[in-house]
Structure 1
């Protein structure tokens, strides 16, 4: 019988898969190293085992101890599998930008999860770096993994992932591309491959809000480069010891939007359901494709599985809220679909101005159509009301009919967005859309802007 003694023995030997549709305009052959077939569904399984085993050998991790680590989720999963097999407790410290799926999965495999704020300095006592270190000091018989500076991280990839890629490509690999977080994967694989062939190019994918690219190019750690970003698993606001800048030939930054869009396209066009950093890696490759030739063989490593991003990257509402969803709005009906389930807020012409103010506050809206006998006879907008009340506060008790402006134009739901946009200007901040079923909805300047984002 061909049987593994435990789940840890199944780590490694992940497949190399040719990409076809997304890279059809790229001259090079592009191969994806798909790490999701590891038991913890990510590349981090490799170094989790190595770090624990090295800690056991050195005596810093003792039987029955507690493993503590700050993680984006994937290292935590790898450590959880090791902890289960070897009999350790595990505490994972995550920042609050990580997906709920990652947190739920960690809890499912027995880890205790501590969540910290993202938008704080690394030295802040609330940061996940600081909390991890504090817990390791407070909890008896515990070991702080510190994947950022623990060099067993990159050693795992030097010993395993790099040689796998060399063997699978029969030594034909010319470029290795991967998102950089702790730096273990790119540095370990990069060193391994360059020892085989010094001409192999190692390209790191960075994100806006991270310090890696500028530090590589200038040697300057620029704190002005640091700000919160959405892409998970890559980029840093520190310089981890595992990042070997001498091994990395260049860094390329990819936007949060492109990382998200390409992650979804990998699933839909290549059938490869992977995580956020994979989309960033493909985005970076396509930005650099002019540097590649038809003789090049590019290996792009995909870190983790798409199931950890179902509530985010693969959720249309989440993407739409951030302006990441590439939607083509063609008609007025398409635009108001965002709020088609909400009732149209209106006023009667004989209501008081004070009533209009109350409705604007209650519904957090800026403009309201005015009715008389069920017909649209006028309109109000907050800028107009504000200016009138500044000039004459007593107008609060005046009927709306005395100050209302002309009614908003009415368009059919089939009206093209380009036509609707021409009707909206400083004097006319909205139009009324009449739908096929007779319902009327408001379409504002903000709706048009949101549809173009």
Structure 2
């Protein structure tokens, strides 16, 4: 009978899949190394097991011990599978920008999950680097994995991923393209492939907000390049020891929007349901197309599964909130379509100013139309209310009609965005759009700005 003795024996030997539609502008043969076929659905299964086995061998990880690691989710999943099979406890320290699916999956396989803020310096005691180290020091019989600097990370890909790519392409691979985070995958694969053929070119995919590209090109670690970004799993605000820059021929940076858009394109155009870093990798590959010739064989690695991003890149509302959906917005109705189903918040002329203040606070808005029995007769703006309050502390108990401003102009649903924009100025903070059947909605400067791509 043919069977695996445990789930760890199913790691590796993932397929190479030819890309067709999404790479139609590239003459070379483009093959995707689809790592979601690993049992933990990511490339990180390989190095997670290797790091554990090496730590067991030299005594850093002892029987019944606790494994502690800072992770964007995928390494944690690989560690969790190994911890289950080998009988260890696991604590995963994760940043709050990672998807909820990743956190839920880690908990589902028995890991304790500690969530840390993303937008802090690596040396900040709240960062997931610092918290991981502290927990490892405080926890008895604990081992801190430190995938960023742990050499077993890159060795796993030198021993497994690199040889697989070489054998699957029959030694014809000419380029390897992959997102760079800890650096283990790119460095391990690059070392193996370049030993086999020094002419193989290796390209890293970086993201805006990360230091890799500039450091590779100039040797300068530029802190001004570091800022928060959305793309998961690639880019860093540190220089991990596993990133061997001497093995990397170049980097290209991909925007958060392009990474998200191309993640969805891979599913829709190739039927390959993979994660956010795969979208970045394929967009980066397209940016590099002038480097490829018709006879080349280009291998791009897809790190993980799209199932970990269902609430993010594969969610229209999430994409729309960040301006990542290229939807044509030309009319007043387009501007408010995402919240047109919500009732218009109004205040009546005889209500008290305190009622308007409460509504501004409750609904987190800045402007409210004022109505009476005949319709719209005025407006209330938080700036005007504040100014009035400074002049008269008893204003909260006065009726709205004593402080209200002019009513907002009303436009038809089909009015152009340009015309709506002209109506909003320093003297008029909003516009009402008539949706028919007595329904109205409000358009503010925020709606106009949100429509700018």
User: Which residue pairs with 1:47 in the alignment?
Assistant: 47
Higher mean displacement: 11-20 or 181-190? 11-20
1:197-216 to structure 2, matched below 5 A, reads 197-216=197-216
SS in 2 for 1:214: helix
User: Which residue pairs with 2:29 in the alignment?
Assistant: 29
User: Which residue pairs with 1:143 in the alignment?
Assistant: 143
Aligned partners of 1:6, 1:347: CA distance in 2, in Å?
Answer: 65
What's the offset of the Cα at 1:308?
Answer: 1.1
- Whether 2:265 is the aligned partner of 1:265: answer yes
SS in 1 for 2:436: coil
Aligned partners of 2:393, 2:408: CA distance in 1, in Å?
Answer: 26
Compared with structure 1, are the counterparts of its residues 11 and 429 closer, same or farther at alpha carbon in structure 2 (3 Å cutoff)?
Answer: same
User: Which residue pairs with 1:305 in the alignment?
Assistant: 305
What's the offset of the Cα at 1:279?
Answer: 1.1
Higher mean displacement: 355-364 or 297-306? 355-364
User: Which residue pairs with 2:228 in the alignment?
Assistant: 228
- Whether 2:187 is the aligned partner of 1:187: answer yes
What's the offset of the Cα at 1:307?
Answer: 0.9
User: Which residue pairs with 1:9 in the alignment?
Assistant: 9
Aligned partners of 1:296, 1:23: CA distance in 2, in Å?
Answer: 14
Segments of 5+ residues of structure 2 without an aligned counterpart are: none
The superposition leaves residues 330-383 of structure 1 with CA deviations (integer Å, 9 ceiling, x where unpaired) of 432232222223322334446666765555445433333333432233434445
Aligned partners of 1:258, 1:162: CA distance in 2, in Å?
Answer: 28
Aligned partners of 1:398, 1:104: CA distance in 2, in Å?
Answer: 51
Compared with structure 1, are the counterparts of its residues 402 and 237 closer, same or farther at alpha carbon in structure 2 (3 Å cutoff)?
Answer: closer
What's the offset of the Cα at 1:194?
Answer: 1.0
User: Which residue pairs with 2:410 in the alignment?
Assistant: 410
Compared with structure 1, are the counterparts of its residues 146 and 383 closer, same or farther at alpha carbon in structure 2 (3 Å cutoff)?
Answer: closer
Compared with structure 1, are the counterparts of its residues 399 and 319 closer, same or farther at alpha carbon in structure 2 (3 Å cutoff)?
Answer: same
Higher mean displacement: 377-386 or 170-179? 377-386
What's the offset of the Cα at 1:206?
Answer: 1.2
Aligned partners of 1:143, 1:369: CA distance in 2, in Å?
Answer: 60
1:319-334 to structure 2, matched below 5 A, reads 319-334=319-334
When the two chains are superposed, the root-mean-square deviation of aligned CA atoms in Å is: 2.5
User: Which residue pairs with 2:101 in the alignment?
Assistant: 101
Aligned partners of 1:222, 1:234: CA distance in 2, in Å?
Answer: 17
SS in 2 for 1:170: coil
User: Which residue pairs with 2:338 in the alignment?
Assistant: 338
| TM-score with structure 2 setting the length | 0.91
Aligned partners of 2:355, 2:64: CA distance in 1, in Å?
Answer: 67
What's the offset of the Cα at 1:402?
Answer: 6.5
Aligned partners of 2:141, 2:435: CA distance in 1, in Å?
Answer: 67
Aligned partners of 2:136, 2:389: CA distance in 1, in Å?
Answer: 60
The superposition leaves residues 226-281 of structure 1 with CA deviations (integer Å, 9 ceiling, x where unpaired) of 22222111111221111111000111121222212211221222211111111111
User: Which residue pairs with 1:178 in the alignment?
Assistant: 178
Report the number of matched residues. 453
User: Which residue pairs with 2:154 in the alignment?
Assistant: 154
